[in-house]
Structure 1
């Protein structure tokens, strides 16, 4: 496995955001969990909003930020899963 995997959320042909694929498993797990928690909290905040009072652009920006966090968490979990399977 390449020592650095580009994250899905890179917006250009030159990846800037990378996952350190050789990081300790507990560190990978901690980083993924932090992003899942932050994304979940953002979505829970959206769910509790009175949508009739919310501005469409604000809701869209919050949803995009949550999606980026969740996608980053998925990318890290992908590396974690590959590493665990390779050990077995």
Structure 2
């Protein structure tokens, strides 16, 4: 695995937002946790509101806004999984 891998949501070359695959596992996990919990908190706040009024454009933009940190968290969890599988083989 390369030392630095780009986040999957960015298709530019060269990528400027990278994950250090050799960072300590607890650091990678903390960053994934932060991103996923942030999205979860926002979605829970929306889900428990009595009334939400918005148009399709706002909903689309809002969905994209939440997808970014969620995808980042998934990318971080993927790196953690790869590292743990390598450790398990050793």
User: In structure 2, how many angstroms separate the alpha carbons of the residues matched to 1:33 and 1:27?
Assistant: 10
Q: Which ranges of structure 2 fall in alignment gaps of 5 or more residues?
A: none
Aligned residue-pair number: 87
Q: Tell me which residue corresponds to 2:55.
A: 55
Give the TM-score, by structure 2 length: 0.84
Q: Tell me which residue corresponds to 1:65.
A: 65
Deviation at 1:78, TM superposition (A): 0.4
Q: Which ranges of structure 1 fall in alignment gaps of 5 or more residues?
A: none
User: In structure 1, how many angstroms separate the alpha carbons of the residues matched to 2:7 and 2:84?
Assistant: 19
User: In structure 1, how many angstroms separate the alpha carbons of the residues matched to 2:37 and 2:77?
Assistant: 14
Q: Tell me which residue corresponds to 1:77.
A: 77
Give the TM-score, by structure 1 length: 0.86
User: In structure 1, how many angstroms separate the alpha carbons of the residues matched to 2:78 and 2:87?
Assistant: 14
Deviation at 1:21, TM superposition (A): 0.3
RMSD: 1.6
